[in-house]
């Protein structure tokens, strides 16, 4: 058995007039994340971590923001495609550990929904998807509520 780890990071600006998608679910908030797709920073960080672990470059390489096919796309579709990509090299997900950095909205109550949604998309058990939420204690762009960031570490396995 071969195991590999990967790390991913993403950030998007908060703006008015957009829906807020995090972890594959829509959240009620007065602002949403700006991006070519639905700008789900958590999913994008997970995709980058998975691709990195499999040595398959990054999300921008596979799903460029210059391609019209990805305009406003649901990031769950990108995540499913990413899982399929790493499978071409014989890898499956071992586990995911991710952190979302946001002052608001408070995410604690929605984390189980995110875990279930992401596990379903990736074809894994929700117990293999750890999601944590934190603030930056009102410091930096996150603290000023200008954006949201996410970090992800993954373990992938080849039998």
**Tens of pLDDT along 87-142?**
999 999 999 999 999 999 999 999 999 999 999 999 999 999 999 999 999 999 99
In angstroms, rounded to a whole number, what is the distance separating the alpha carbons of residues 35 and 48?
A: 16
pLDDT of residue 140: 96
Tell me which residue of 26, 39, 6, 5 sits closest to 147, measured CA to CA: 39
Tell me which residue of 86, 97, 149 sits closest to 123, measured CA to CA: 86
* CATH value at residue 154: 3.30.1330.50
pTM listed for this prediction = 0.97
Total domain count, the chain: 1
pLDDT of residue 116: 98
Tell me which residue of 122, 111, 126, 134 sits closest to 49, measured CA to CA: 122
The answer on whether 62 is annotated among ligand-binding residues is: no
The answer on whether 137 is annotated among ligand-binding residues is: yes
The answer on whether 99 is annotated among ligand-binding residues is: no
62 has pLDDT over 90? yes
Structural domain of 61 = 2-158
Dihedral in degrees, nearest 10, Cα atoms 4, 131, 152, 123? 50
Q: In sequence order, which ranges of 54-110 are alpha helices (DSSP H)?
A: 59-62, 75-87
pLDDT of residue 68: 87
């Amino acid at each position: 058995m071969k195991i590999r780890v990967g790390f991913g990071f993403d950030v998007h600006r908060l703006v008015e007039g957009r829906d807020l998608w995090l972890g594959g679910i829509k959240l009620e908030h007065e602002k949403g994340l700006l991006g070519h797709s639905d700008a789900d920073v958590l999913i994008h960080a997970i995709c980058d971590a998975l691709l990195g672990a499999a040595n398959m470059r990054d999300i921008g390489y596979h799903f460029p923001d210059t391609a019209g096919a990805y305009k406003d796309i649901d990031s769950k579709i990108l995540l499913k495609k990413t899982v399929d990509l790493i499978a071409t090299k014989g890898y499956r997900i071992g586990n995911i550990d991710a952190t979302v950095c946001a002052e608001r909205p408070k995410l604690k109550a929605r984390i189980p929904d995110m875990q279930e949604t992401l596990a379903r998309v990736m074809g894994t058990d929700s117990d293999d998807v750890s999601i944590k939420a934190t603030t930056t204690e009102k410091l930096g762009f996150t603290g000023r509520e200008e954006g949201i960031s996410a970090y992800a570490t993954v373990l992938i396995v080849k039998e």
